[in-house]
């Protein structure tokens, strides 16, 4: 065991931010590198709303402290929640020594001559302006018909001095994720571990409980509902009699009509959300879980500073 500040030759440690557009697979990638489903991931864009710290300790080699971040997007509807999310991601870029910029393989091959276009081009500029070391991670290569499809885009990007390395991966299948880990470690400074070696994250269990409930709402609802949901855990405690986790949570929506959608006919949808969330919570905490969910309308919470901070979405100072 090493002390926290003791530096051992060859051991590297530091922060790595995972940034990119919504839905490119940042959270899936962090989970693949951690070997734990810590950060929620769904097919809906804007799933992640906070920065989520995940620690990967590679025995005798180093410690990668990942910051998963919300997807950087142009804020069209202009809600305060969206602004807080994007600010959080942009801050993470500035505060880390290494940035893993995640893009989708299929968007690169659309314009092989100019593989980074639209919002990807904007984000690449922001990273370059921050002056941090950037690794370009090309995710979802499993969606291409063949790797050869990527070659023209990779050739164009190879000329781009903003990227120290370009690593194609499939976060979902785990392809090349081990290689990426080594590439990222090589960019970190020599230092002793920043966290005790058995650390996974810095957030409390109830945060992840709220996230895993929200994940199920996202998976089981459509249209604007996923963007209007916030989950607040009111009770999180272990029952001393049988060791079960007792969790009570409020699912907040912005409008009465959304409440009806989340509850569903005869309460069917809320029941399905609860069943799936309970299974996910039991797998994560390794304990029996008793879960109680209530749906409440908190009108326009995503635009109200007090509600945002109550639900854990901090706005930039």
Ligand X SMILES: Nc1nc2c(ncn2[C@@H]2O[C@H](COP(=O)(O)OP(=O)(O)OP(=O)(O)O)[C@@H](O)[C@H]2O)c(=O)[nH]1
Instruction: Summarize as ranges the residues that interact with ligand X (CB under 6 A).
Output: 22-28, 41-43, 45-48, 70-71, 139-140, 142-143, 170-172
Residue 27 binds to Mg ion (criterion: CB under 5 A)? yes
Interior/surface letters 24-60, b for 16+ CB within 10 angstroms, e for the rest: bbbbbbbbbbbeebbbbbbebebbbbbbbbbbbbbee
CA 113 vs CA 67, 71, 254: distances in Å: 31, 25, 44
Kindly state the tokens that stand for 140.
């979802």
* Residue among 27 and 63 whose Cβ is closer to Mg ion: 27
Q: Quote the least distance from Cβ 30 to Mg ion, whole Å.
A: 8
Q: Which is nearer to Mg ion, 47 or 63 (CB)?
A: 47
Number of H helices, E strands in the chain: 10, 9
Strands of 230-238's sheet, edge to edge? 230-238, 245-253, 289-297
CA separation (Å) from 268 to 9, 271, 289, 293? 58, 5, 20, 13
To ligand X, the closest distance from the beta carbon of 29 in angstroms equals 7
With CB under 5 A as the contact rule, which of the stretches 27-35, 73-81, 111-119, 149-157 interacts with Mg ion? Answer: 27-35
Which of 46-54, 120-128, 204-212, 237-245 is the region at the interface with Mg ion (rule: CB under 5 A)? Answer: 46-54
Comparing CA positions, the residue from 171, 122, 169, 124 lying closest to residue 150 is 169
CA distances from 310 to 122, 231, 300 (A): 31, 10, 14
CB of 284 to Mg ion, least distance (A): 17
Contact status: 48 vs Mg ion (CB under 5 A): yes
Which residues lie across from 135 on neighbouring strands?
100, 165
110's contact among ligand X, Mg ion, none, with CB below 5 to 8 A by partner kind, is none
The nearer residue to ligand X, 87 or 246, going by C-beta atoms, is: 87
- Of 12 and 73, which CB lies nearer to ligand X in the complex structure? 73
In this structure, what are the phi and psi dihedrals at residue 272, rounded to the nearest 5 degrees?
Answer: -65, -40
Q: Does 28 bind Mg ion (CB under 5 A)?
A: no
| Cβ-based nearer residue to ligand X, 270 or 277 | 277
Query: Taking the complex as a whole, how short is the minimal distance between the CB of residue 142 and ligand X, in angstroms?
Result: 5
Q: Quick one: tokens of 2?
A: 């090493």
Residue 69 binds Mg ion (CB under 5 A): no
Stretch that binds Mg ion, among 41-49, 87-95, 171-179, 257-265 (CB under 5 A): 41-49
Is 136 within 8 Å of 104 (Cβ atoms)?
A: no
**Is the CB of 115 or the CB of 168 nearer to ligand X?**
168
What is the rounded CA–CA span in Å between residue 181 and residue 158?
Answer: 20
Least separation in angstroms between CB 90 and Mg ion: 15
Q: Which residue has 């929200």 as its token pair?
A: 214
Write down the least CB distance from residue 252 to ligand X, Å. 19
Residues 242-271 as x/- pattern, contact with Mg ion by CB under 5 A: ------------------------------
Return the SS3 of 29: helix
50 lies in the binding site for Mg ion (CB under 5 A): no
Contact positions toward Mg ion, by CB under 5 A?
26-27, 47-48
């Amino acid at each position: 065991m090493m002390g926290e500040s003791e530096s051992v030759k060859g051991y590297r440690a530091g922060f790595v931010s995972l940034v990119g557009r919504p839905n490119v697979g940042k959270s899936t990638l962090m989970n693949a590198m951690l070997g734990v489903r810590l950060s929620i991931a769904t097919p809906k864009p804007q799933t992640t709303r906070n920065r989520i710290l995940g620690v990967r300790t590679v025995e005798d080699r180093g410690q990668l402290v990942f910051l998963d971040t919300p997807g950087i997007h142009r804020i069209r509807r202009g809600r305060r929640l969206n602004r807080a999310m994007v600010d959080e991601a942009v801050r993470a870029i500035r505060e880390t020594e290494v940035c893993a910029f995640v893009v989708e393989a299929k968007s690169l091959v659309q314009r092989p001559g100019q593989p980074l276009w639209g919002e990807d081009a904007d984000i690449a500029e922001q990273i370059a302006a921050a002056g941090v070391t950037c690794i370009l991670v090309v995710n979802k290569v499993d969606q291409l018909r063949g790797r050869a499809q990527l070659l023209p885009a990779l050739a164009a990007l190879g000329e781009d001095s903003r990227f120290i390395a370009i690593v194609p991966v499939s976060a979902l299948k785990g392809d090349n994720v081990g290689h990426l880990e080594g590439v990222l470690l090589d960019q970190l400074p020599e230092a002793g571990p920043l966290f005790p070696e058995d650390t996974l994250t810095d957030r409390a269990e109830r945060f992840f409980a709220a996230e895993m409930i929200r994940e199920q709402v996202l998976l089981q609802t459509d249209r604007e509902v996923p963007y209007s949901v916030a989950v607040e855990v009111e009770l999180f405690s272990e029952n001393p009699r049988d060791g079960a986790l007792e969790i009570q949570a409020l699912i907040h929506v912005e409008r009465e009509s959304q409440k009806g959608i989340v509850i569903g006919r005869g309460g069917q949808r809320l029941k399905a959300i609860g069943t799936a969330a309970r299974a996910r919570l039991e797998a994560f905490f390794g304990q029996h879980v008793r879960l109680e969910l209530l749906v409440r309308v908190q009108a326009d919470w995503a635009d109200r500073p007090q509600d945002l901070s109550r639900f854990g979405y901090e706005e930039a100072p």
